[in-house]
Structure 1
């Protein structure tokens, strides 16, 4: 009888583990699953690369050039080339609903836009005109005052 309960206990534990694992591995309909750290590795690779208007490579990036390379390397996904095209892509996302990989947009001049990639914890990566590819905080006064919207690219 003791062996019966031991076997029953093991069977119940295995079933519970299998069900938990199935739940953990199932895609959530409301939130796409993205590999952890994909944009982190792109950032590590290009951190400090200088700003270059129209740049799309190791010799230098502009903001949309960096975004294009980052999405190709992290997600194998092609995006429109310019910031003006990017801001019309995907779907608008509220700031309090940002997820890793969302694009964040800023108005930096009368007719100038700037963009970066949200990487979590209120931070984004981008090609800064003064410092090249860097990570910045959305809470920084400069960026907070110029933030205009975010978009999620599917």
Structure 2
């Protein structure tokens, strides 16, 4: 059976266009964020500052870890797995494993009340959800499908458009 070239191209485009993967964003410049040096500065008295430094410590350890759906280790991790591991390892808080379960944890707060450690949720598709952890200065840490564990900004039009809600799961 012979295939005609004019049939192959539309079929290929149909299959390519049916992908459920969220759009890949252009690479963002990753800030070099360092917590204050040990012994040289006073420990943070504000609990949110302490959380911020713990989050930055986690970022340093996990930065660039590739995305893997269902992953929970440095060979690959997904967004809710990263949140789960970060809260367990850095804050000794046990959260549910999935994004939807995490979105029901704690209490909802207004976007204007964001503080370090708050969970930020996004609707990235009809049924797709994404979660990250707010650090400070409009930045959040998360496991991106395209770039792995990274810091992104809420000023990015993609994240601004897909913002869903904020949950505070500690304090």
Please indicate the TM-score interval, normalised by the length of the shorter structure: 0.7 to 0.9
Q: How does 1:53-72 map to 2 (within 5 A)?
A: 53-72=69-88
After superposition, the CA RMSD in angstroms is 1.4
With structure 1 as the length reference, what TM-score do the two structures score? 0.78
**TM-score, structure 2 normalization:** 0.70
- Give unpaired runs (5+ residues) of structure 1: 1-23, 26-31
Matches of 1:62 and 1:97, distance apart in 2: 26
How far, CA to CA, are the matches of 1:129 and 1:33 in structure 2? Answer: 31
Measured against aligned partners, the alpha-carbon deviations of 1:115-138 in whole angstroms (never above 9, x if no partner) come to 000001000000000000010000
> Residue 95 of structure 1 corresponds to which residue in structure 2?
111
- The runs of 4+ residues in structure 1 deviating greater than 4 Å are none
Equivalent residue number for residue 113 of structure 1: 129
Matched, 1:77 2:123: no
Corresponding position: 1:137 with 2:153 = yes
- Count residues in correspondence: 125
SS in 2 for 1:89: coil
Q: Secondary structure at the match of 2:67?
A: coil
For 1:118 and 1:66, the matched residues in 2 are separated by 13
- Higher relative helix content: 1
Once the two structures are TM-superposed, the CA of residue 42 in structure 1 deviates from its matched residue by 0.1
Question: Which structure: larger Rg?
Answer: 1
Unaligned runs of 5+ in 2: 1-43
Match of 2:165 in 1: 149
Alignment partner for residue 46 of structure 1, among 62, 80, 88?
Answer: 62
Per the TM alignment, residue 33 of structure 1 is displaced from its structure 2 partner at its CA by 2.0
How many angstroms does 1:73 deviate by?
1.6
